[in-house]
């Protein structure tokens, strides 16, 4: 803690990220885990589902949007790869067609073959 001309400051204490990585834990403990993902309470008869909390429902919707976006972008990538492969095949076909047209027999050989 440092005081500069009446203004009080303190250094930020960071989480021990190496320890969390060794334990295979998330880097931010406040974004997931039992306190975040599980319901706050449950009913004794276990037949009635617990309603989602406000932030939990928001998080579920956000993950659904992420999943939709991932599927959409993966489809775009697949389409781009198909287009690229199609263009490469067309380019190769044109190149082969030019080579085939250049190597046609001419003159007397062409007449005697028929």
Domain edges within the chain: 17-106+108-112
For the segment 59-107, what is each residue's pLDDT rounded down to a tens digit? 899 999 999 999 999 999 999 999 999 999 999 999 998 888 886 666 6
Distance CA 30, CA 5 (A): 35
More confident: 88 or 13: 88
Q: What pLDDT is stored for residue 29 in this prediction?
A: 74
Classified as helix, coil or strand, 104 is coil
Q: What pLDDT is stored for residue 4 in this prediction?
A: 62
For residue 4, list its beta bridge partners: 7
3-state SS record for 12-35: CCCCCHHHHHHCCCCCCCCCCCHH
Q: Is 107 left (phi over 0), alpha (psi -120 to 50) or beta?
A: left
pTM summary value? 0.49
């Amino acid at each position: 803690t440092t005081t500069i001309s009446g203004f009080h400051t303190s250094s930020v204490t960071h989480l021990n990220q190496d320890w969390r990585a060794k334990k295979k834990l998330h880097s931010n403990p406040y974004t997931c885990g039992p306190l975040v993902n599980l319901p706050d309470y449950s009913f004794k008869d276990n037949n009635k589902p617990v309603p989602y909390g406000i932030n939990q429902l928001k998080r579920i919707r956000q993950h659904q949007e992420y999943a939709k976006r991932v599927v959409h972008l993966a489809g775009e990538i697949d389409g781009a790869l198909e287009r690229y492969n199609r263009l490469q095949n067309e380019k190769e076909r044109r190149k082969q067609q030019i080579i085939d047209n250049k190597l046609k027999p001419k003159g007397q050989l062409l007449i005697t073959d028929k």
